[in-house]
């Protein structure tokens, strides 16, 4: 059992990310090695996680009192009602702050479970076992937890770091290709904002990564996590530098919300479309040169990726997209903040643009 380990050191919490294969049978040992002790725990489990994997985790904690909550993990269920259900179980089972909540699932499961842990008695120990590529490389790192509202995505939440993250690459073998592409979108984003050498590696090895070939998938996950670690350690609460991680996300979140978080467009797919929009807008504003733009865009034009926002939206959707962009949590005025890019590895943080400016840009994207 070879394990790669990353140590996250934020002001509020120090914890490890463990990346490897066949980690599930040894989870209780890994938890003890990281000095985490508890008498009982609640497993918050995505219903899509194969039952034999859940049983393997449960068996590893045979000496603990285990409760389970199964979640239909989708954006519509990522809400306050689900959080309340989790909190009610913790209260009925008489959990103390010395006990533990363990999330087993993708980003939605981690966000909802982590948020519930942050609220319960002002902070319950929380372990994240991400089971999707997207959650292993992005949402499990950095402590962002929260839920959606009718007004937009992730507008209610907290910064709450886990005690431990255990990323078993074997989970990825149960995923459809669409889910792997969603995760790859976030890996690509990390390369674009901070590491051109990593982008070159992805550009060369993209098919092997999507086919989960070793050592390519292992390296992609580790390097992606390392980039996010660097950013989160410098800016835990998103006061400045961490905003670069939102590259493509202002567009992406608005696209998702306009479609009412339907399965037509998953989060990672929305991020890919959002990055395309952000890169095009960067070119329009003369931030990025054509050569660098073409290098990125040619990679994003791969036939496996979502191709164009025109495949998902019509001109009549434009006002709704803009209204959700205005409501984005990063904005503090009537202007829209965007994360743009000068070149691979050099993002531009917090450029503000008017509703009219974005309206003209997206209108052109939807009609050309």
Question: Residue 245 is part of a domain; what is its CATH number?
Answer: 1.20.1090.10
Q: Checking DSSP bridges between strand 40-46 and strand 100-105, what pairing results, if any?
A: parallel
CA distance 106 to 36: 22
Residues 211 and 357 in one domain: yes
End of a domain among 129, 150, 173? Answer: 173
Q: What is the CATH number of the domain that holds 157?
A: 3.40.50.1970
Whether residues 280 and 362 share a domain: the answer is yes
Burial (CB < 10 A; 0-12, 13-18, 19+), residue 105, is buried
Q: Which residue has 């929305």 as its token pair?
A: 270
- Give the residue among 68, 65, 70 at the shortest CA–CA distance from 38: 65
Residue 65: predicted pLDDT: 93
* Alpha-carbon distances of 113 from 42, 55, 118, rounded to whole Å: 10, 19, 9
Tokens of 260: 């009412």
Domain hosting residue 106, numbered range? 3-173
Percent of the chain beyond pLDDT 70?
100
Instruction: Please tell me whether residues 9 and 153 are part of one structural domain.
Output: yes
Mean predicted lDDT score pLDDT of the chain: 94
Cβ-in-10-Å burial (0-12, 13-18, 19+) of 215 comes to: exposed
Q: Of 155, 173, 191, which residue constitutes the final position of a domain?
A: 173
Phi, psi for residue 42 in degrees, rounded to 5: -105, 125
Q: What span, in angstroms and rounded, lies between the C-alpha atoms of 68 and 66?
A: 7
Q: Are residues 191 and 313 in the same domain?
A: yes
How confident is residue 28, by pLDDT bands cut at 50, 70 and 90?
confident
Whether the Cβ atoms of residue 99 and residue 125 lie closer than 8 Å to each other:
yes
Phi/psi at 123 (nearest 5 deg)?
140, 105
Contacts of 270 (CB under 8 A, 6+ apart): 251, 252, 253, 255, 256
Find where tokens 């991400």 sit.
130
Examine the domain organization and report whether 285 and 263 are in the same domain: yes
Shared-domain flag, residues 117 and 231:
no
Distance CA 234, CA 215 (A): 29
Residue 302, pLDDT above cutoff 90: no
Average the pLDDT over 301-321 and give the result.
Answer: 93
Predicted local confidence at residue 364, as pLDDT: 95
Q: What is the mean pLDDT of residues 61-84?
A: 94
**Same structural domain, 30 and 158:** yes
Pure H helices in 127-266:
133-134, 177-194, 196-210, 216-234, 249-258
172's tokens: 């990825």
Q: Same domain, yes or no, for 328 and 182? A: yes
Rounded CA-CA distance 328/186 in Å is: 19
pLDDT digits (tens, 9 = 90+) for 122-152: 999 999 999 999 999 999 999 999 999 988 8
Judge if 184 and 88 occupy the same domain.
no
- For the whole prediction, is pTM greater than 0.75? yes
User: How many domains does one find in the chain?
Assistant: 2
Same domain, 169 and 219: no
Structure tokens at 5: 């380990």
Q: Does the pLDDT value for residue 83 go beyond 90? A: yes
Per-residue pLDDT at 32: 86
Buried b (16+ CB within 10 A) or exposed e, 321-343: bbebbbbbbbeeeeebbbbbbeb
CA distances (Å), origin 269, targets 30, 39, 59, 295: 33, 40, 35, 20
Residues 152 and 190 in one domain: no
Does the structure show a pLDDT above 80 at 1?
no
Question: What is the C-alpha separation between 58 and 52, in angstroms, rounded?
Answer: 10
Last residue within a domain, chosen from 119, 143, 173: 173
Q: Do 17 and 125 fall within a single domain? A: yes
């Amino acid at each position: 059992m070879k394990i790669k380990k990353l140590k996250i050191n934020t002001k509020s919490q120090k914890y490890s990310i463990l990346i490897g294969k066949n980690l599930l049978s040894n989870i209780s040992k890994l938890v003890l090695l990281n000095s985490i002790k508890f008498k009982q725990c609640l497993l918050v489990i995505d219903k899509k996680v194969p039952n034999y994997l859940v049983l393997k985790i449960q068996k590893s904690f045979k000496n603990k009192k285990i409760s389970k909550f199964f979640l239909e993990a989708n954006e519509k269920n990522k809400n306050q009602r689900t959080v309340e259900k989790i909190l009610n179980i913790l209260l009925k089972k008489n959990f103390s702050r010395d006990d533990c909540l363990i999330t087993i699932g993708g980003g939605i499961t981690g966000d909802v479970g982590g948020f519930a842990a942050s609220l319960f008695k002002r902070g319950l120990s929380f372990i994240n076992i991400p089971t999707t590529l997207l959650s292993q490389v992005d949402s499990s790192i950095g402590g962002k937890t929260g839920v959606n509202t009718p007004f937009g995505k992730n507008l209610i939440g907290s910064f709450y770091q886990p005690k431990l993250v255990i990323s078993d690459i074997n989970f990825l073998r149960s995923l459809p290709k669409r889910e792997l592409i969603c995760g790859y979108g976030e890996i690509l984003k990390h390369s674009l904002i901070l590491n051109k050498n990593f982008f070159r590696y992805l550009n060369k090895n993209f098919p092997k990564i999507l086919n989960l070939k070793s050592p390519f998938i292992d390296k992609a996950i580790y390097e992606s996590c390392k980039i996010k670690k660097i950013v989160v350690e410098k800016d835990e609460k998103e006061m400045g530098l961490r905003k670069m991680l939102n590259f493509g996300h202002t567009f992406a979140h608005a696209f998702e919300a306009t479609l009412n978080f339907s399965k037509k467009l998953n989060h990672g797919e929305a991020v890919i479309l959002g990055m395309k929009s952000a890169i095009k807008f960067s070119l329009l504003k003369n931030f990025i040169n054509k050569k660098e733009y073409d290098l990125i865009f040619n990679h994003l034009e791969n036939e496996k990726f979502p191709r164009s926002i025109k495949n998902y939206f019509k001109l009549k959707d434009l006002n709704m997209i803009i209204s959700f962009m205005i409501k984005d949590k990063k904005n503090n005025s009537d202007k829209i903040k965007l994360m743009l890019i000068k070149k691979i590895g050099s993002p531009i943080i917090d450029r503000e643009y008017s509703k009219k400016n974005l309206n003209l840009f997206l209108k052109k994207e939807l009609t050309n």
